[in-house]
Copies of this chain bind each other. A is one copy, B any other.
Amino acid sequence: MQRALLKVTTHTSRVTVRYAETDQMGVVYHANYLVWMEVARTELCKATGFAYSEMEADGVLLAVSEAGCRYLRGARYGEDIDITATIADSNRRFIEFHYTMTCEGKKVATGRTRHIFLNKEFRPTRLPDRYAELLSAE
């Protein structure tokens, strides 16, 4: 019997800009885009077949080792932002996600996060089989 041929490696999430996320410039404070990437990453994990909270309960932490964002135009309070998260690269030691953020089809920002897998003692660890398969990390 065959395994599923199609794996989920991308997913789009939507957030509505909160007042709390704006700053006095009248647009979203730049650090908050990283939070939106986290929302999209969480939902992408769910779409591949597991909740990230389960992985943590299994003793594997997905620690951010690098994060970056390019800002193309300021997002504003009340706007709906679509964040497409994609698994760009992965193996048993790390995973990299890329993100595209749009508002009504226009690009707002692009981003990238790289993560390493840590055990509860914050030491690098290898991703267990179950998650490796789901995250294309074999």
CB–CB A34/B30 < 8 A:
yes
CB–CB B42/A19 < 8 A:
yes
CB–CB A20/B24 < 8 A:
no
CB–CB B38/A18 < 8 A:
yes
- Report the bound CA distance from A69 to B66 in whole Å: 6
A interface residues with partner B (beta carbon < 8 Å): 16, 18-20, 22-27, 29-32, 34-35, 38-39, 42, 51-53, 56, 61, 63-71, 74, 76-78, 122
**With A66-B68, A68-B66, A69-B68 known to touch, is A23 a contact of B20 (CB < 8 Å)?**
yes
- Report the bound CA distance from A76 to B26 in whole Å: 14
The dominant DSSP class at the A interface is mixed
- Report the bound CA distance from A77 to B31 in whole Å: 17
Residue of chain B at shortest CB distance from A29:
B20
- Report the bound CA distance from A19 to B23 in whole Å: 7
Neighbouring B residues of A71 by C-beta, 8 Å: 63-67
Q: Report the minimal beta-carbon distance from A12 to chain B, rounded to whole angstroms.
A: 15
8 shortest A-B CB distances, which residue pairs? A68-B68, A31-B34, A22-B24, A30-B64, A20-B35, A31-B31, A24-B26, A53-B78
Q: Report the minimal beta-carbon distance from A30 to chain B, rounded to whole angstroms.
A: 4
Name A20's contact: one of B19, B31, B51, B69 (CB within 8 Å).
B31
